[in-house]
Amino acid sequence: MARVWNFSAGPAALPETVLRQAQAELLDWRGQGASVMELSHRGKPFMQLAAEIDRDIRELAAIPDDYAILFLQGGATQHFAQIPMNLAAEGDSADYLVSGHWSDKAAHEAAPYVNVRVVASSAGDDYRTLPEASDLDPRAAYLHYTPNETIHGVEFSDIPAAPEGVPLVADMSSDIFSQPLDVSRFGLVYAGAQKNLGPSGVVLMIIRRDLLDRATRPMANIFRYAGQAERDSMLNTPNTWGWYLAGLTVKWLLEQGGLAAIGERNRAKAELLYRTIDGSDGYYRNDVDVAARSRMNVRFNLHDAALDALFLQESEAAGMIGLKGHRVLGGMRASLYNAVPLDAVEALVAFMRDFAQRHG
C-alpha cells in the first residue's frame, strides 16, 4: 500500500527518509549487531549518540552553552505540573496567558503547585483571537504561554515580553523547530516530540541553567530538572528509541537548510491552504482572526456540517488521513507540521476544490 498524506495533529507525520533510515538500522545500528532499542543507555555507543544529538540541536537552533538540553518523559501534560514544581517556591505566583485548550489545561494543572494568575485569556472570543496581557507581575516566578494551539488553530506571531527578571516559559509542543527560534528570549522551552520532532513518548526541554538552581520545594529527584541535567537525562532509563528518532529528525532538518528554510516552507503551505479556504465563496470557512491564524494547525468547516462525514470518507479514499477536527470543535483540521510536504497540501486543496464542485 502506498503511503498516505498524513495531516494528523499528533502523533503526526515523520520524514520518510527518517523512517527509512530507522528501518534500515532496526536490526543493526551502527555496526552494533543490535537495535538501538536493545542497547544500554549507559553504554558508550548510546552515550556518544546522545552527545551527537545535543550538538546537532545546538547547531540547528543556535542554542548557547548556558542552556541545558534535556530529553524527558511524561508528555507536555506532565510538565504542566512539573514546571511549577521546579520553578516556583511555596506561596509563589506565576502568570499565564490562555489562548486555547492547552494553555488553559497548563494553568489548571499548575494550580496545586503555584498561585496561578491568568493575566489574559481569549476564552471570551472562543479562542478565535490572541490575548494581550497588560498586568504582568514583575515578581512572578515565570510567565507561561503556548505559542501555538493545536485545537483552536491560533498562533502567536510575536514572542510576549516578560518583565525583567521573569523567565518566559513556552509549551512549543506543536511548533518546536518549525521556524527560526531565538532561545535567548526564553527561560524554558518544552515540547512533546510527536508533532515536529519525533514519535510520542519523548519531551524535549531547553532550560537556562541558572533556573536549575532555584530552591523550590522538597521533591523526589526524578522530578527535579536539575537532577536530570546532572545525569544527562539518564537519571532513569530514557526512551532511547524516541531519542534516536528525534536525533534523526534533527539531522533531517539540518539537511533541509535549517530553521529558516523549514519556516519558509511551512509559511508557504499554510498560505496555500488558507487562500483556498478564503477563496471558496463560503463553501469552506475559517473563523480565526487572520492575525491569529496558525501555520501548523489549520481548522476549517464546510458550509453544511451534513457533508462532514462524506468529506472525510472521500478524502481518505483519495489518500489523505487525519483531517477530522478535534471533538471540541468538530469540522476539519489539517496539521501542516515540518514533515508534511507541499505536495500533500497541493493534493488537499485540489481535493477540496473538486469536492466543492461535485457537492456544491
Q: Is the pLDDT of residue 61 over 90?
A: yes
Q: Which of 5, 29, 102, 243 is catalytic?
A: 102
Res 39: pLDDT: 97
Active site residue 105: no
Question: What is the mean predicted confidence (pLDDT) over 4-25?
Answer: 98
CB 161 within 8 A of CB 112: no
**DSSP per residue over 221-277, as a string?**
GGG-HHHHHHTTT-SS---HHHHHHHHHHHHHHHHTTHHHHHHHHHHHHHHHHHHHH
Q: Is the pLDDT of residue 134 over 90?
A: no
Q: Which of 54, 56, 95, 171 is catalytic?
A: 171
pLDDT in tens, 231-278: 999 999 999 999 999 999 999 999 999 999 999 999 999 999 999 999
Active site residue 54: no
Question: Parallel, antiparallel, or unpaired: how do β-strands 297-302 and 115-121 relate?
Answer: unpaired
pTM > 0.95: yes
Res 328: pLDDT: 86
Res 261: pLDDT: 98
Domains of the chain: 17-255 (3.40.640.10), 258-358 (3.90.1150.10)
Question: What is the mean predicted confidence (pLDDT) over 106-130?
Answer: 97
Determine the 3-state secondary structure of 77 from DSSP: helix
Per residue, the 3-state secondary structure of 193-209, as one string, reads CCCCCCCCCCEEEEEEH
> Quick one: pLDDT band at residue 305, thresholds 50, 70, 90?
very high
**DSSP per residue over 276-343, as a string?**
HHHTSTTSEE--S-GGGB-SSEEEEEESSGGGHHHHHHHHHHTTEE--BPPTTT-SEEEE--TTS-HH
Q: Is the pLDDT of residue 1 over 70?
A: no
pLDDT in tens, 310-335: 999 999 999 999 999 999 899 999 99
> Quick one: pLDDT band at residue 360, thresholds 50, 70, 90?
confident
Question: Parallel, antiparallel, or unpaired: how do β-strands 5-6 and 320-321 relate?
Answer: parallel
CB-neighbour burial class of residue 129 (10 A; exposed 0-12, middle 13-18, buried 19+):
middle
Question: What is the mean predicted confidence (pLDDT) over 46-52?
Answer: 98
Query: Three cell numbers at 214?
Result: 532555584
Q: Which of 92, 104, 195, 243 is catalytic?
A: 195
Active site residue 195: yes
